[in-house]
Amino acid sequence: MTKTVTGTRYLPGTYAQTRTDTAQRAQHFVRQLEQKEDQKRRTSEQMLKSSLLAPTICFSRKIGVGALEIAELLAQKTGHRVADRLIIEKIADDADLGSQTVKFFDERHPGQINQIGAFLFGEKSFVMGDYMRRLASAVLSLAEAEATTFVGRGAHLILPRDRVLAVRCISSIEYRIKRVADILGVSEDSAKKELDEADKEQRRFFQRAFGKKDASPYEFDLVINRDFINRPEWAADIIYQAYLSKFQMA
């Protein structure tokens, strides 16, 4: 039975389930990076090349379709940790946490952030701001430290494409409105207003971060339509089979 949160503002990338405080989880993820870095220094291991990066699953979604719920069900099958939008944003927005991840990544891969930026934006027009450096460093460092499933923030555009199963979750606006209204315990009119604002923010982010208006279906291995694959367990099963097949784990 779906748990409702009456009168609560809808936060994209969340659903009606009690979750650990975002700041604590973000700090925990960065502490894991520190531990991994210390371990590498002690054992004098060489930096991991992108071809050795653990296979990663990246979710992109229309706000309100339930991608995070699917990701956490999927994580029970893959053993991945889940880095959701709130975690990624916390690391990228927090000056201290973000600076740590930039430092970790720059030490392991000198100059690679600039190469990624040039690939995304083009050599001539590319200028990577502090936020984008922190965002890219956070995604790359988390993926390198441990097998991770990412939800949101364009992670599939940052990571090496041959090591990513990129999944797009979509649905009709009616499905999204009903789902968010049920989660928040509000009217469908109120849910629609929340989604309109969330959609605008998502478009602004993609324009600012990647110079894109929206996600093209050609960027993804798999597109899941929640109007028809309406049970999260079904979606998780489909994605898991695609993951096994792509990375030859079956």
Amino acid making up residue 142: L
Amino acid making up residue 187: S
What is the per-residue pLDDT for 22? 80
Phi-psi region of 111 (alpha: psi -120 to 50; beta: other; left: phi over 0): left
How big is the chain, counted in residues?
Answer: 250
Helices in the chain by DSSP H: which ranges? 22-43, 67-78, 85-93, 95-108, 112-121, 130-145, 155-158, 173-184, 188-210, 232-246
Q: What long-range pairs does 122-130 form, CB within 8 A, spacing at least 24?
A: 130/98
Neighbouring C-alpha atoms within 13 Å toward the C-beta of 234: 9
168 — phi, psi (to 5°)?
Answer: -110, 125
Query: Which residue, chain included where needed, has tokens 């809808």?
Result: 10
What is the per-residue pLDDT for 107? 52
Sign, CA dihedral 201-207-210-214, equals: positive
110 — phi, psi (to 5°)?
Answer: -60, 130
Contact 168, 70 (CB under 8 A): no
What is the per-residue pLDDT for 136? 82
Tokens of 59: 């979710």
> What residue spans define the domains of the chain?
47-245
Contact 210, 45 (CB under 8 A): no
pLDDT tens-digit profile of 151-160?
A: 988 999 989 8
Amino acid making up residue 122: G
pLDDT tens-digit profile of 85-144?
A: 888 777 777 656 555 555 555 455 555 555 555 555 555 444 457 777 788 888 888 888
pLDDT tens-digit profile of 18-54?
A: 556 787 888 777 777 777 666 655 543 343 444 457 8
Return the SS3 of 148: strand
Amino acid making up residue 90: K
pTM to 2 decimals? Answer: 0.74
CATH number of 47-245: 3.40.50.300
